[in-house]
Structure 1
């Protein structure tokens, strides 16, 4: 009998299912290699790795509840009702299979196709990596009526696996405290975990995930807790993402099938907006760079809709050619597939490379969409009419785009007149500051380092691209100037909206606005523009927000810039003996209130400044938030602001 047969027998999950690939030594030395980074992202990734194990049990059909708890000391407990990690003797390693899974990197049932058909986890480093990066970890397993336990410090077991009592059910309970000597941040953010747990609940219909924060207790003595459960999976997910947009048709076009051994689930909605929003997942991993599954989806959508429109004679009077992009305008879709051995490529290893997937997704989507269009002629006509409108607007956009291309420095058209360029030509060293207004732009030009810092002043608030058709955006002078200054080309393929950033002139693009409500609005408008039209800029980590100080505090000859109210309070306590009146505080309402030297010292000097990098940790959540903040519907926006406002009188 082979190992695979043993593991497959009656869903058995035993020591023989655990295969060992390599040791743990390097994890503590080079943690970023294994979990991405040692900041906030890496800290939360530890939780995802442990939860992924429980999700794998659920995918295999053995678990339907996962409890995630943030404890008072910022340790995390993850408990599931799966089969429990095997505890029997591992012949090769000569110790309990539980200890092998917890202390040896890449040791786990995931590497044996018989134990798990598919498994999640981006890095696949597993729970042993979490163990290595925790000062303390306790594992409890309930199996066969017995409660087993083992504890570890920095990945090393404190004792052998032992029985500590009777079991009340089956499952695994993991509690770990991230190592503060490795992580720059050790305080968990509830919202980051809630976003991922909500996403996992949508992607895995029927699983209950409960997130509890023991650090937050309300007036009645109840701890903060939220339950995530989705009965209809992607159908509900696509409605959630699209909830702040106006629907073109109210139906969700849905399919859940298997082609060539690949489980495929897709949910599609059409809205009245002008952007395409497709979110793709492989084994619960958000593939933000797309890949073969996305290519298969797009190919099927274009082919099927075009054929239907032609067969129905809807395109007879249309004088213009319809392109692939036109079929996806106003489309929101979620694609989730499961692949036994995914091959990931791309900058952030989130692009699927498996060639066999393209044909499978193409076939599945083509069949489902053909059936829907034939059964719903009224809705089908609305979709095709929207496509024709998009094609007409795209032809109008071609002229506007040619204006941008003509002015591009790559085509010899020169740079925008307002741009104060830097002298260095190496994009890796160059920075472009997008500055609010000519006044602040002038100060920034005086204060900058001309060698590597370029300044582009923007007049007022740029166009809200969430509400505008594409050609209107390209007709906007401020947006044209951004494209031209960056040196990117647009619409090179099939009149596509996609930007080609190969000749990008700056690898740091920094939004620098006033620290007030208007400044925040301009930040959001510019981020929306990049998110919708040049997402690669964000995906590659090129977009930043400058953070000018809020205050200059003085007491005698001592002065200090303060970026937060907490820093200001600390200065008052230190130098004013707690008396606010004893300290002179200057509140900076705008960049124009600083002179060039102050702006350089606080906001532009790489030695002292604080830049916030804009990243898309969760594309579906970002899509929902941008459409809600910048779209037509006021209701959800008001709720969001009321929930997230820290203090109302920001400009007092």
Structure 2
């Protein structure tokens, strides 16, 4: 007879605020990560602290914010009103404590539930807050949310404001490091949305005069714009619109109360709908919605009273109304575009003409593709019934109700042995595998037709669910996992070319990565060390001397599933694929993937590295 598990008062455990945050960090900051992804937790910690300083600026207090990141220590200093001195400890360590419950003080702020800085405090090995106002200063220091020191200065000449310093706890965030590229993008978005605000980051100044117009100029080369940016501003709304000459897909940057809603929401859905409606009415033609929006590059920012987001990390707006007596988000956005975009097009016939030509070009291309698209969809349907290429996972990026949705990952790998190892060692909840057969096609210079004609590209597009737009993207992380040899490098290059050519916003939005896999295994009878570089190999040999066993991994297929789990679990190492804003996609692809040019030959010769010395050293050992 089976023994029944006892369920008594002893089983009921009440966690205090910091224990709960540390035990369930995903509920508060999304995923953890190591800093290789823009939505990793260490950036959310910075954002939570920064949001408070931004809200001070919005309230008219302090025009400059200073940020310093040296190693793992982050310092954020604003010159706002300063936290009331008697509440310095409470504000960063008591749940549901904050100034933003008083809607008069903070009408349209981002942080409404008083959780942000408490989460930063609980998840930091060191956290210090210091507030100065009325010639007095109060400070408090914490470790993992526990108060260890507090101080009150009755007389100080320091400028008023708040200074927060913290070090993310390496017990929670393993092997992490801040990447300046992601921090810079976050800060640029803040200044685009708060014209007149100056942010100093490690001594560099960020400032914007033209808001979302500046944002679009950062994201699209002037030479690639089909027409000059349309920039429209109103009470609680701002939009910027242009079309790309070369990009196939739609690209949107959306914001609510200064928060970058990377997964869109009701405001973005309203914008896409209102844009089509306004254009149709202006030209008096019932154009296909996809033709109107094809190649669009745009941004929308709105301000909502007490917004409702679909997750704590505020990446998707759920609010249907603007708050108070105001209309719904849909009506508000629609009315604004109907009036302002229509007026703009009447006053700027040259731009209106270019937009119409862009729509007609999209219509022609769609009709040319329609036959092949239908064939490809039928083929993909049949293939998906017995599709060996995709081994799916259970949680997907669009599942905003699941706090693991940001971990959803698709590994693109080559060959049966490599995909077999990943498939056997992956987390079936969040990690899917797409297996290529040999090298993909070089798609440089080809039209979108090739995506449907080439079975692998078509199935990959279907697996990612990005044919219409990346709004329905099924995986937050797309990871190219190939061997670290010449063939593996070539496959990486061909896949990156495919994404740059047809879906560049996947790269712009930080979804594409290269999986780092170990080059060497160094072990003795007591310990095994996996080495990702020659330096790590030398360090491991030194540590495990006198005569450790050294194995050089030639391909992923050589690594057993039991070992592979170490490289795609919590210690996964990813290199993000990033775009250099100073080089257009067209020039980039031409240089690397076009016909052999003297420039490229010279580049290869100058950057060629020989492994002979490494091989000799291994033989010696």
**TM-score computed with the length of structure 1 as normaliser:** 0.72
Cα distance, 1:575 vs structure 2: 5.7
Specify the alignment match of 2:22 in structure 1.
Answer: 28
| 1:363 and 2:362 correspond | no
Q: Please give the alpha-carbon distance, in whole angstroms, between the structure 1 residues aligned to 2:185 and 2:575.
A: 15
Q: Please give the alpha-carbon distance, in whole angstroms, between the structure 2 residues aligned to 1:428 and 1:25.
A: 26
Q: Helix, strand or coil: the match of 2:109?
A: coil
Cα distance, 1:51 vs structure 2: 0.9
Distance change (3 Å), C-alpha of 1:124 and 1:626 = farther
2:97 pairs, out of 87, 101, 107, with 107
Cα distance, 1:560 vs structure 2: 6.7
Q: Helix, strand or coil: the match of 2:254?
A: strand
Q: Helix, strand or coil: the match of 1:333?
A: strand
Q: Please give the alpha-carbon distance, in whole angstroms, between the structure 2 residues aligned to 1:489 and 1:634.
A: 24
Q: Please give the alpha-carbon distance, in whole angstroms, between the structure 1 residues aligned to 2:409 and 2:24.
A: 29
Specify the alignment match of 1:330 in structure 2.
Answer: 295
Aligned residues: 556
Q: Helix, strand or coil: the match of 1:344?
A: coil
Specify the alignment match of 2:155 in structure 1.
Answer: 165
| 1:294 and 2:263 correspond | no
Distance change (3 Å), C-alpha of 1:366 and 1:458 = farther
Q: Please give the alpha-carbon distance, in whole angstroms, between the structure 1 residues aligned to 2:163 and 2:443.
A: 47
Distance change (3 Å), C-alpha of 1:302 and 1:395 = same
Q: Please give the alpha-carbon distance, in whole angstroms, between the structure 2 residues aligned to 1:350 and 1:468.
A: 34
CA contact (8 A) 1:404 1:483 kept: no
Q: Helix, strand or coil: the match of 1:335?
A: strand
Q: Please give the alpha-carbon distance, in whole angstroms, between the structure 1 residues aligned to 2:211 and 2:265.
A: 22
Cα distance, 1:36 vs structure 2: 2.1
Superposed counterparts of 1:203-222, under 5 Å? 203-212=193-202
Distance change (3 Å), C-alpha of 1:295 and 1:497 = closer
| 1:393 and 2:372 correspond | no
| 1:253 and 2:230 correspond | yes
1:277-301 deviation digits (Å, cap 9, x = unpaired): 1110112222122111112211221
1:386-442 deviation digits (Å, cap 9, x = unpaired): 10110111122221221222113x4578656xx4787xx986799986444xxxx25
Q: Helix, strand or coil: the match of 2:565?
A: coil
Answer with 60-69 or 287-296: which moved more.
287-296
Specify the alignment match of 2:220 in structure 1.
Answer: 242
Specify the alignment match of 1:195 in structure 2.
Answer: 185
Superposed counterparts of 1:411-422, under 5 Å? 411=382, 415=386, 419=388
2:210 pairs, out of 210, 219, 232, with 232
CA contact (8 A) 2:516 2:574 kept: no
Answer with 383-392 or 30-39: which moved more.
30-39
| 1:127 and 2:123 correspond | no
CA contact (8 A) 1:202 1:237 kept: yes
CA contact (8 A) 2:29 2:313 kept: no
Distance change (3 Å), C-alpha of 1:602 and 1:522 = farther
CA contact (8 A) 1:435 1:511 kept: yes
Q: Please give the alpha-carbon distance, in whole angstroms, between the structure 2 residues aligned to 1:165 and 1:473.
A: 69
Cα distance, 1:135 vs structure 2: 3.2
Distance change (3 Å), C-alpha of 1:53 and 1:497 = closer
CA contact (8 A) 1:432 1:456 kept: no
CA contact (8 A) 1:509 1:544 kept: yes
Distance change (3 Å), C-alpha of 1:126 and 1:449 = closer
| 1:266 and 2:260 correspond | no
Specify the alignment match of 2:586 in structure 1.
Answer: 631
CA contact (8 A) 2:259 2:314 kept: no
Q: Please give the alpha-carbon distance, in whole angstroms, between the structure 1 residues aligned to 2:608 and 2:562.
A: 24
Cα distance, 1:208 vs structure 2: 0.7
Q: Please give the alpha-carbon distance, in whole angstroms, between the structure 1 residues aligned to 2:395 and 2:337.
A: 41
Q: Please give the alpha-carbon distance, in whole angstroms, between the structure 1 residues aligned to 2:133 and 2:255.
A: 32
Distance change (3 Å), C-alpha of 1:634 and 1:164 = farther
CA contact (8 A) 2:443 2:450 kept: no
Specify the alignment match of 2:325 in structure 1.
Answer: none
In structure 1, stretches of 5+ residues that fail to align are 1-21, 88-95, 213-224, 316-320
1:477 pairs, out of 440, 449, 455, with 455
Distance change (3 Å), C-alpha of 1:469 and 1:627 = farther
Q: Please give the alpha-carbon distance, in whole angstroms, between the structure 2 residues aligned to 1:385 and 1:477.
A: 32
Cα distance, 1:544 vs structure 2: 7.0
CA contact (8 A) 1:538 1:615 kept: no
| 1:141 and 2:131 correspond | yes
Distance change (3 Å), C-alpha of 1:323 and 1:528 = farther
Superposed counterparts of 1:555-570, under 5 Å? 562-570=531-539
Q: Please give the alpha-carbon distance, in whole angstroms, between the structure 1 residues aligned to 2:50 and 2:272.
A: 31
Q: Please give the alpha-carbon distance, in whole angstroms, between the structure 1 residues aligned to 2:574 and 2:450.
A: 26
Specify the alignment match of 2:52 in structure 1.
Answer: 53
Q: Please give the alpha-carbon distance, in whole angstroms, between the structure 2 residues aligned to 1:613 and 1:572.
A: 21
Cα distance, 1:80 vs structure 2: 0.6
Q: Please give the alpha-carbon distance, in whole angstroms, between the structure 1 residues aligned to 2:466 and 2:589.
A: 32
Q: Helix, strand or coil: the match of 1:370?
A: helix
Distance change (3 Å), C-alpha of 1:631 and 1:290 = same
CA contact (8 A) 1:248 1:270 kept: yes
2:281 pairs, out of 279, 284, 307, with 307
Q: Helix, strand or coil: the match of 2:62?
A: coil
CA contact (8 A) 1:548 1:563 kept: yes
Distance change (3 Å), C-alpha of 1:121 and 1:615 = farther
Q: Helix, strand or coil: the match of 1:345?
A: coil
Specify the alignment match of 1:78 in structure 2.
Answer: 76
CA contact (8 A) 1:201 1:207 kept: yes
Cα distance, 1:368 vs structure 2: 2.0
Q: Please give the alpha-carbon distance, in whole angstroms, between the structure 1 residues aligned to 2:163 and 2:350.
A: 52
CA contact (8 A) 2:484 2:519 kept: yes
Specify the alignment match of 2:318 in structure 1.
Answer: 353
CA contact (8 A) 2:522 2:528 kept: yes
Specify the alignment match of 1:457 in structure 2.
Answer: 436
CA contact (8 A) 2:66 2:76 kept: yes
